[in-house]
Amino acid sequence: MGRPAQQGENTPQESLTVRDNRTGKVYTIPIADNAIPATAFKAMAAPRKPGEREENETEKGLRVQDKGFLNTAVIRSEITYIDGEAGVLRYRGYPIEQLALHSSHLETAYLLIYGSLPTKDQFKFFESEVMRHSVMHSDAEGFFRSFRYDAHPMSMLTSAFAMLGSYYSEANPSLQGQRLYTKGDRASLETMDRQIYRLIGKATTLAAMAYRVRQGRNFVTPPTGLSYTGSFLYQMDHLGEENYTPNPVLEKALDVLFLIHADHELNASCTTVLQTGSSLVDPYSAIAAGCASLYGPLHGGANEAVIRMLISIGSPENVPAFIEAVKKKEKTLSGFGHRVYKTSDPRSFIVRKTADEVFKVTGRDALLDTAMALHDAAMKDEYFIKRKLAPNVDFCGLIYRAMGFPLDFFPVLFAVPRVVGWLAHWRQMMLQDGGVKIWRPRQVYVGPAKRDYVPVEERAPVEGPKQTPSRVEHGGITKRTMLATFKGKL
């Protein structure tokens, strides 16, 4: 941790020397793995200046402010490495390009969760456990039927993950003890692995049930003898045909897309899973929280946004006008640029190859020409080059569209494989040295200083945008009720 440096003291080379100009003190902060502990700055206290707000807590040490976690590391991880400048993505050291070419989603799931590529027997055991745990309790049918016919599938999936936790009391630390998943002994690991099998196995089943609700179809029991993605397609599409088998090209394409979406380090949804999991809640609740985070248009909803953008552009000849509108900030460009990657997303090349294979079976999507025209125009335009807005993986929505999935199902196709990554990071945190500390970020309070309560008759009105509740327009029953007279009306 940081401490004041003594005069004449030899300063370690792997350290950071900080001089606090408020006090003149010099602090030495150790550097490990090119990172410094943020808690070291707590030692850098200073007297409060005359007139300074007490809420700044100056005498309690410095706080590190990092809005949006732009440069904050919250955990030491062995799972996924990303070099955004070079366009590199590796799972446990293996380049994503090699895994997409040679591996499968479930084999990669084993790698992400347990740290190594499985042997033939290890994989056979893992696959059989995942597939064996794909069948849902019959009560789940009533749960899904309770949703409106037009409910968004991500709302259903998020709720379903939370609902799962109610079935397994043995998996709940609130009932079985808070060290249920952190002991690291055999019984603890067995309990943890059982929930991993369940969540990965049932993810496709829950997603398929959400899909069938929207289609007005009866639910399908997971079949035997099919692959993970083959079973998923079967559950979504089977209508009673004898010996039904999904198209192998579509099955393989979905498996590749699942693999490249399985993990992406500490993105918004993974961080949400860990933030929630740090309270030692059951994994089903943590995964549901991650699913809710992924639902947002800045995250898992980006695939859907890309297709809606391409539809709005229409034909390739409209691309130049759209590009100019983007530069004037009149339009939003989706599918380009990434919070991490400052060059092309390495997964985008895999997506392009996968798209070619799918289009051979389904036919070429008319929006592909528009997408390529947009890609070429942006890659040649200095405006986008300067801002490093290269195309990213969100163009895989074209594949989903070609395969016949509705737009609002795209985030589900992102969430199902990402369950693997969420579980890998959750498991790592549960088993980390030193146990689990609840995640409790600091804030920089800039609100009012202490003030005394004012009686209602003495208050002056405070009005203006964002300072008062908005008035909303009422219709139907509410409007007529507001116009009616009745006892107790406010």
In order along its 490 residues, the chain shows pLDDT tens digits of 556 665 446 678 899 999 999 999 999 999 999 999 999 999 999 999 999 999 999 999 999 999 988 899 999 999 999 987 788 999 999 999 999 999 999 999 999 999 999 999 999 999 999 999 999 999 999 999 999 989 999 999 999 999 999 999 999 999 999 999 999 999 999 999 999 999 999 999 999 999 999 999 999 999 999 999 999 999 999 999 999 999 999 999 999 999 999 999 999 999 999 999 999 999 999 999 999 999 988 888 777 778 888 899 999 999 999 989 988 888 887 766 555 545 567 887 898 889 899 999 999 888 888 888 888 887 788 887 777 666 554 568 889 999 999 999 999 999 999 999 999 999 999 999 999 999 999 999 999 999 999 999 999 999 988 999 998 999 999 999 999 999 988 8
Tracing tokens 């509740």 back to the chain, one arrives at 469
Residues contacting residue 371 through CB under 8 Å, at least 6 positions apart: 310, 335, 395, 398
Rounded to the nearest 5 percent, the helix, strand and coil shares of the chain are 50, 5, 45
Q: Three-class SS of residue 345?
A: coil
Token reading at 432: 């980390």
From 20, 238, 299, 408, active-site residue:
299
Q: How far apart are the first and last CA of the chain?
A: 60
Sequence-distant (≥ 6) Cβ neighbours of residue 107 within 8 angstroms: 117, 118, 123
Measured CA to CA, the distance from residue 190 to residue 166 in angstroms comes to 19
Residues 70, 71, 73, 79: what is their CA dihedral angle, to the nearest 10 degrees? Answer: 70
User: Which tokens go with 394?
Assistant: 């969100």
What are φ and ψ of residue 88, in 5° steps? -115, 135
Are the C-beta atoms of 284 and 161 separated by less than 8 Å? yes
Tokens of 3: 């401490």
Closest CA to 236 of 258, 253, 219: 219
Instruction: Tell me how far apart the alpha carbons of residues 283 and 288 are, in angstroms, rounded to a whole number.
Output: 8
The pair of three-digit structure tokens given for residue 473, joined into one six-digit string = 């327009």
Q: Say which of 338, 345, 365, 375 is annotated catalytic.
A: 338
Q: What pLDDT sits at residue 393? A: 44
Q: How is 198-253 classified by DSSP, letter by letter? A: HHHHHHHHHHHHHHHHHHT----PPPSSS-HHHHHHHHHH-SS-TT----HHHHHH
In the residue annotation, 394 being an active-site residue is answered as yes
Secondary structure (3-state) at 80: strand
Residue owning tokens 């004012």? 454
Q: What pTM value is reported for the model?
A: 0.90
CB 126 within 8 A of CB 118: yes
User: CA-to-CA distance for 323 and 384, rounded, in angstroms?
Assistant: 10
Distance CA 303, CA 315 (A): 19
